[in-house]
Amino acid sequence: MTAGALDGIVVADFSRVLAGPYATMMLADLGADVVKVERPGTGDDTRAWGPPFDADGQATYFNAVNRNKRSVVLDLHDSRDLGRALDLVRGADIVVENFRAGTMDRLGLGYRDLRAVRPGLIYCSITGFGSGEGAALAGYDLLVQAVGGLMSVTGPGPDEPTKAGVALVDVLTGVHALAGILAALHHRDRTGQGQLVEVNLLSTLLSSLVNQASGYLGAGAVPGILGNRHPSIAPYEVFPTASRPLVLAVGNDRQFRALAQALGRAALADDPRFAHNTDRVAHRTALAAELAERLAMRGADEWFALFRAAGVPAGPINDVREAFGLATALGLEPTVAVPGSAAPQVANPITMSVTPPRYHRAPPRLGEG
C-alpha cells in the first residue's frame, strides 16, 4: 500500500454527525489512524439517518463521512470506559470533538486536562457558536444558515429565504478544522508543542460569505436575495432553453464577446449597455431578455457544446447522477471502490503526487475496531 502523508498519526475522534467526522475522514484518507468513539447502543446519530440505506442496510449518510476509521464503543459517563478513553488519548496525536461547549471539560476530557497527559496533543474543538456567550446554543446547520445570513442571500426571491441543499456550513467547518489541525501538526513538527484548535459554525459561515460579507463591511451594502443572479457580475444566472435550464457564468468582457458571437449576436458586445461588466450589471434585465430570446432556440446540451468550444463558461443544471457522469467524462475519477463497502464512495477531492489519499476500510460497524 502506498504510504500516506499522515502515516503514524493517531486521531481520537470524539465527534459525530458531520463537521467533525468529515474532518477526521479527510485525515484518515491521508493516512492517519482514526479511532471513532461512539456511544453504546446507537453510536453516531447518523447511523440511523435514513433512508436511503445501502445494500448492507447501513445509512448512506453515515457512510459519507466515516470510511477508513475504526470504531470503539465507550460510555463516557462510566468510569471504566472513561479510563479507556484516557488511554486512547495517551496514544493519540490529535483529538477532535464537537460536543456542546463545556461537555468534554465536565468529563475530564477537555484540552487543559488532556494536555497534562499528552503535552504535544493537538486538540480540535468544533462548536456551533463558540465557547463564550454562544456556548449553550445548539449548532445545527440549518439554524446557522438562518442566523448567519446565508439564507438571507439564498432563494428564488426576497420573501423566500432558502437553505442550501446540503449541510454546507458543516462541511465548510470540517474543512476549516482540517486546515487548522494540519497547521498545528506542522507547528508541532518544528517545536514539539501541541495546541488547541477551535472552529465554530457561525464564524466559518461569516468567513465563507466572502464578497457578500466584504460588501457589507467595506461599503455598508447589506445584500439581499437575487435568486440565481450575482450582485456584481452579469450575465451570471440561469436561463431557460428549448430543453432544460442552462447556467451562464460570464466573468469578464472577453468571455461576453465570445458569448455574443456564439449566440449569433456579436453586436451585443459593442452595445454601450453591455460592453463592460459594470454596464451589464446596470442593465441586467435588458441583457437577460436579449439572451433568453436566443437561448430559447436550442436545447441546453447543444448550447453547452457550442459554448464549451467557444470558451464560454456555461452548463446545464445537472442532477447528481448527471454530475457524476460529467466528472467521469472529464477524467476526474469521482468515485472509488472501498474494500468491504457495499457501494462506491465519493473520492477524496485532494490529489497528491507522492502520498495520495488511500481507501482501505469501509465505514465501520458499531464497535468494529
Active site residues: 170
Residues whose CB is less than 8 angstroms from the CB of residue 288 and which lie 6 or more positions away in sequence, other chains included: 235, 237, 239
Give the integer Cα–Cα distance in Å for 153 and 224.
Answer: 5
Rounded to whole angstroms, the Cα distance separating 165 from 162 reads 9
What b/e readout covers 94-117, taking b as 16+ CB neighbours within 10 angstroms? bbbbbbebebbeebebbbeebbee
Amino acid code (one letter) for 100: R
- The Cα–Cα gap between 177 and 200 comes to 9
Query: For residue 197, how many other CB atoms are within 10 A of its CB?
Result: 23
Residues 256 and 314 sit within 8 Å (Cβ to Cβ): no
Instruction: Confirm if 366 and 356 have CB atoms less than 8 A apart.
Output: no
C-alpha cell recorded at residue 338: 472501498
Strand pairing report for 335-336 and 345-346? antiparallel
